Amino acid sequence: MSLRDLAVAILIAIALLVLLAMLFAWRRRLRRDSGLSAPLGVPEHAEVASRHEVLYVSTTQHEKPLERLAISPLAYRARGELAVTDRGVALCLDGAPTVFLASAKLREIDRATVTIDRVVEPGGLVRIAWSVDGETTVDSYLRVADGDPQTLISELQRLVPAAPDTGATQ
């Protein structure tokens, strides 16, 4: 065995170890987030106000755009359609069941530039902050394929419930 053959074998072994480490890390993330799931199915009689072609990018911990969550069925990037209804937001991704975020679950809608696996022009992503289980807030990022993201953001912001009045004055 020549020195060159030995070097190639070592590089192949290192590449396989890196791939195995990535696989085990992803499986560990799937187990860690298995208790979280997105609400599925659109309620009956929900009236669709508009539809937008989107690229679903990721869901992360709230205000931590580089900490991906593997929430079923939002674990993987996908193309799809976002439907704004009178009761919330329906996210229909290719190959996945429809996720429905009721208005009561929505916390905040705004623009973003960076999330895990994606950096775009300033404000090129739509960030939807929503409650998974009443206690845990997460951020889902979308890239609008057709039109201006500000139009979608304005429509979605109307769905976000007003913050409760705590009676505090400044």
Q: Each residue's pLDDT tens digit in the chain (170 positions)?
A: 789 999 999 999 999 999 999 999 888 888 888 788 888 988 888 899 999 999 999 999 999 998 889 888 988 899 999 999 999 999 999 989 999 999 999 999 999 988 887 778 888 899 999 998 878 899 999 999 987 888 899 999 998 887 654 555 55
Q: What is the pLDDT of residue 35?
A: 80
pLDDT for 136 equals 87
- Give the per-residue pLDDT at 29: 83
Distance (Å) of CA 97 to CA 41, 82, 117: 8, 13, 23
Ordered structural domains, the chain, with CATH: 48-157 (2.30.29.30)
Per-residue pLDDT, 2: 87
pLDDT confidence of residue 167 = 52
Scanning the structure block, which residue is given the tokens 């057709």? 146
pLDDT for residue 8:
94
HEC profile of the chain: CCHHHHHHHHHHHHHHHHHHHHHHHHHHHHHHCCCCECCECCCCCCCEEEEEEEEEEEEEECCEEEEECCCECCCCCEEEEEEEECCEEEEEECCCCCEEEEHHHEEEEEEECEECCEECCCCCEEEEEEECCCCCEEEEEEEECCCCHHHHHHHHHCCCCCCCCCCCCC
